[in-house]
Structure 1
Amino acid sequence: MQEGGAPRGKRGSGEPRTVVVSFKAPKSLLQAVEELVEMGFFNSRSEVIRTAIFNLLREIERERRVRMEVGYR
């Protein structure tokens, strides 16, 4: 939640749709992210980072399922 506790989601839902996350990254990584935005692949740096995290989690889940299937054979 942002400072002040204001939710960033549907009004009255009580739960924020998004929260602000702060992290450190190498300048070269930020430059690559900004280039993706400038080239029009994404609308914002936040969108790049959300997509990257989503894809990472999806890949980890896929690998977990494969390991479970192999373990049950």
Structure 2
Amino acid sequence: EINEQIDNNSDEYISFPETQSPKQEIIEDTEKKKGFFNQFASYIAINPHNYIDLLKMLSDGIADL
């Protein structure tokens, strides 16, 4: 029974969607991350004890990536 289940499900993993070249996406992501983390680092330097704002900024930044 287990072997049959594996055989039945194997088709799900064979095909992959076609994707465009990731080069441009990587460049855009890198610029986003660089800008975000520069902002984040300067914010930490100015407000080292404001942890709730830091967490909010981190979660917003991660959501944008």
TM-score range relative to shorter protein = 0.3 to 0.5
TM-score of the aligned structures, taking structure 1 as reference length: 0.35
Kindly indicate which of the two structures has a greater share of residues assigned to helix: 2
Q: Given the two structures, how large is their TM-score scaled by the length of structure 2?
A: 0.39
Report which of the two structures shows the higher radius of gyration computed on alpha carbons: 2
